Amino acid sequence: MLKSLTRAHWVAAAAVGFAVTACATPGPGEGSSSQNPNLLTREEIAASDATNLYDVIARLRPRWLQVRSQRSFSMPTEIAVLQNELYLGNVEVLKQMTLDVAYRIEYYEGARAATAFPALMTGRHIEGAIVVRTREGRE
């Protein structure tokens, strides 16, 4: 009886250990403390040790920079970048933006971006939008 009880305890302890490890291990690009995968806070941005916003996102939320489907042969599909409500261009403009510009950064998937920013859809195929919010901008 003692051997089977000890074995049962060992199996239960191992199962709990595996479950805790699986829940605590961040996935690729998810090493930040934010619970929202579509948001980077001011604290996360400052702690990233990057020199521009492109590098911050590449380190903390790399999937935001990836175009996963091409929607047209005549027009490129892009990830739009906005500062508050103003369209700036594609993700390359993030390389020119310093960390002190951003109070927080939000990501909108394609359909949500189209709904939130309908003017973006004129003449372009948008897969998503990265919105750099400043202190002066809407929160």
Distances (CA, A) of 123 to 76, 85, 120, 126, 130: 10, 18, 8, 10, 18
What are the phi and psi torsion angles at 108 (to 5°)?
-115, 125
CB 69 within 8 A of CB 77: yes
Domain 29-133 in CATH 2.170.130.10: yes
pTM to 2 decimal places: 0.70
- Could you report the per-residue pLDDT of 65-97, keeping only the tens digit for each? 998 766 556 667 889 999 998 999 999 999 999
CB 84 within 8 A of CB 131: yes
Q: Between these two residues, 119 and 42, which has the higher pLDDT value?
A: 42
- Could you report the per-residue pLDDT of 8-43, keeping only the tens digit for each? 554 454 444 444 344 443 444 444 455 899 999 999
